[in-house]
Structure 1
Amino acid sequence: MITRLYIGNLNFAITEAGLQEMVGRMTSLPPAHIDRAEVIRDRDTGRSRGFGFVELANSEAAQRAMSELDGIEVMGRTLKVQIAKPRSPMRSRA
């Protein structure tokens, strides 16, 4: 089962490819365990909001990545890493 990690306090210049590469380089995970990376962007400006998500192959890989990445400094910023919470349903703006 795929597990998503929230990675906060990212440098605003990081891209999806850069985030995926960073996770692969700074953890002991094999590249096959890192399925996808997403940097969340402002809807109007397209600029990074400073956080993103990484999908990992299973919960064991996610736990290992979280313990290896949480609190380390990358590109001048201290990362905050945790298991992503399930997305709540969107409320209508009526």
Structure 2
Amino acid sequence: MSIYVGNLSYQVTEEDVVAVFREYGNVKQVQVPTDRETGRPRGFCFVEMETEAEETAAIEALDGAEWMGRSLKVNKAKPREERGGRSGGGNRGGGNGRFSRDRY
């Protein structure tokens, strides 16, 4: 199980997150996604703790808490959805007609 932490400061580091969550138990892993272009944190992270009881304690204590000038959003992470190919819909490849090669 994993914890989602949203509305993080863009200056946050993995070490910062570990220091806060360590108060509620053993932190197994922290992932702070970064922007591909700027390299700065994207404003959220995922935290894995040793037990579900530790995760629950951290969620209850930190959801809505203010940290680094931001009000945290902390809850159980939802499973990642598959990002398969697109079927139907969408306008990739010029399907909206505005720039269709047929018109020129």
Q: Which residue in the other structure is 2:21 paired with?
A: 23
Opposite residue 65 of structure 2, the aligned amino acid is I
Q: Which residue in the other structure is 2:50 paired with?
A: 57
Structure 2 runs not aligned, ≥5 long: 87-91, 93-104
Equivalent residue pairs, number: 87
Q: Which residue in the other structure is 1:10 paired with?
A: 8
Cα deviation digits, residues 53-90 of structure 1 (max 9, x gap): 10011221111110010011001000000000011112
Q: Which residue in the other structure is 1:39 paired with?
A: 32
Q: Name the CA distance, whole Å, in 2 between partners of 1:22 and 1:8.
A: 14
Larger relative contact order (Cα-Cα within 8 Å, sequence gap ≥ 6): 1
Q: Name the CA distance, whole Å, in 1 between partners of 2:35 and 2:9.
A: 14
Q: Name the CA distance, whole Å, in 1 between partners of 2:50 and 2:70.
A: 26
- Larger proportion of strand: 1
Deviates more, 1:35-44 or 1:61-70: 35-44
**Deviation of the 1:45 alpha carbon:** 1.9
* Structure 1 outlier segments of 4+, above 3 Å: none
Identity of aligned residues (%): 39
Structure 1 runs not aligned, ≥5 long: none
Highest CA radius of gyration, 1 or 2?
Answer: 2
Q: What is the SS of the residue equivalent to 1:60?
A: helix
Provide TM-score, normalisation by structure 2. 0.76
